[in-house]
Structure formats: C-alpha cells, structure tokens
Amino acid sequence: MSEHIAEQLTKIIKFMSTTVGRDKLCKLVQYVSMYLQYKESNKNSLEGLKELSNPDFPLNKLNYNMWITRKMLRLGLLWHYCKQIREYINSDSTEGDQGTLKKKKSMQKKDSMSNGASGERSEASNSFSIFEFDSPALKALSTICNTLFCVADLPLLLQELKFIKLESHWLKQIFTLKHIFWILSCLFKLVKQYILIRAMNMKVERFKNLSFPNEKTDKSLLKNFNENEERKSVEKDLTKLLISVIRTLIDLLLPLHYLGIRKMSTKSLGLFGTISSLGSML
C-alpha cells in the first residue's frame, strides 16, 4: 500500500512540474475559490452581497490571480500543444514499417475482441486497454482547437495587462471565437470517446463470454484468460473512460455559460469547474 501511495505521489509531483500540471492546479484553485464565494458569504444579507462584488474580497482576489496566472501559462501551453500536434501528425507518416506493424497489431486486437464475444476462431490474447484504439486524428483536431483557443486568448491577455487597447467589438468577437474553439475541442473529444465506448462495450462482452464459456466460445481464447486480471482491466478502463466523458461534458457547459447560451450561477460554475479540474488531474 505504501509503495502504491509513493508511486502516485511521484506521478503527481512530476505532473505538477509541467506547464499543463500547473495550469490544472491553478484552474482547480480558481474554481474552488469561485464556489466558496457563495459558501463563505451570507447571500441573504446586503453586507454579504457587497462583499461578493468587492474586488478586494480575498476569494475574489484569489480567483482573479489564478485567472490571470492561467492566461500567462497558456503562452507555455502553446508550445506544448504544437509539439502534440506534430507528434499526432507524424505518428503514422514517420514510423514506416513499424507504424504499419502497429496498425496490424491493433486490427488483430480488434478482431480478437469481436471473436471473443461471437465465438469465431482466433489466437489466444492477453488483456489490453481500450485506449490503444484512440484516434490520433481526433486527438490532433482537438489539440488544434486548444491551440487556437490559446492564440485567441493572447490579445485578451495583452488587453488585460494594458499593453494594447482594442475596441469593444473586437474584444467581443475574439472572446466569442475563443470559446467556439473550446466548444469544438470538446465535441472532437466526445466523438473520440464515443469510439472508445464502443470498444469498451466489445471488451465487456468479451469478458462475459470468457467468464461464462459455452459451446460457442473459442477454447483457444481461454488459455491465457485470467478472470481477475481481466476484471481489473475492465474496471480500470471503465473508470478512466467515465471520468473522461464526465469531464468533457462539464467542460462543454463552461464555454456555453461564458457565451450566454446556457447561463449558470457562480456557485454552479465553481462546482462544475472544480469537478472538471479534479477529473483532469486523475
């Protein structure tokens, strides 16, 4: 147990040492402070409402500081996203025969998933992760949208720091465009997650078929089948997929709120933002 805790702490420390990790931590603090604004203040009193509207109110100051810090960190995220896009684009084109071999293995695993559930003949296979079938193209499209989001956020940051002065109609257009990129990124993620849900369904069917074999079950698949390991693999993938889907759906609500399409209270916004932040750090 202690080794597992130490391993998780090491992963968290490594994650927090990256630009992405620091951005997620600031996001968590930002939305927690937003949620606590209505928790700590007496909403029913005039004095409490004045506190909430006061920029010097400690939670308001913390919220603003995290907000501006995240905008600064997005300058580093631009480089991170550009590297990711390059990796996704080159994943198939630069690997040559090795990339082709990986594709063949991936297709064989997909066939194995189907055969395990339907009873067709195939070679024995060990447990696998559904995330091996993640779509690099959809990942690239989602990351491109994240990159454009950061690019659109740059003039808003310069305006906030008073380095430039833009007309209000330009600010509104840039603000809208930025959140459209955010929405598109979420939609691409949802399409990717739909593919993974289908793969998860096939994996569960395979597990049921091999756990309770009948006369149609391919006996060769039972040779390397370990029920406990397979159950852990199914539970792990299912938990990770559920967290990912919930986080994406919540992330989709945030830009809809900022664009005024689906308004939420500050308390709800803070709560959903906190859940999304925690999900991204797991």
Q: Kindly report, residue by residue over 240-264, the tens digit of the pLDDT.
A: 899 999 999 999 999 999 999 988 8
149-167 pLDDT per residue, tens:
999 999 999 999 889 999 9
Distance CA 251, CA 184 (A): 11
Q: Which of 92, 56, 269 is nearest to 277 (CA)?
A: 269
10 Å Cβ neighbour count for 149?
23
User: Nearest CA to 182 among 256, 247, 242?
Assistant: 256
How many structural domains compose the chain?
1
Q: State the burial class of residue 273 (Cβ atoms within 10 Å of its Cβ: 0-12, 13-18, 19+).
A: buried
pLDDT, tens digit, 9 for 90 and up, residues 110-119: 444 444 444 4
Please tell me the distance from the alpha carbon of residue 108 to that of residue 18, in angstroms, as a whole number: 36
Of the candidates 23, 16, 12, 21, which has an alpha carbon nearest to the alpha carbon of residue 66?
Answer: 23
Question: In this structure, what token pair is assigned to residue 72?
Answer: 């600064």
pLDDT for 231: 83
Q: Kindly provide the b/e burial profile for residues 18-48, where b requires at least 16 CB atoms within 10 angstroms of the residue's own CB.
A: eebbbbbbbbbbbbbbbbbbbeebeeeeeee
Indicate whether 84 pLDDT > 60: yes
Cα–Cα distance for residue pair 64/48, rounded to 1 Å: 19
Q: What is the pLDDT of residue 229?
A: 82
Higher per-residue pLDDT: 127 or 245: 245
- Give the pLDDT band of residue 173 (cuts 50, 70, 90): very high
The tokens of 239 are what? 């938990």
Q: Compute the chain's Rg from CA coordinates.
A: 23
Q: Residue 131's pLDDT band (boundaries 50, 70, 90)?
A: confident
Mutual angle of helices 19-40 and 2-16, in 10-degree steps: 100
Question: Which residue from 140, 112, 117 is spatially nearest to 127, judged by alpha carbons?
Answer: 112
Q: What is the extent of the structural domain holding 239?
A: 2-93+102-281
Percent of the chain with pLDDT over 90: 27
* pLDDT band at residue 39 using 50, 70 and 90 as cut-offs: low
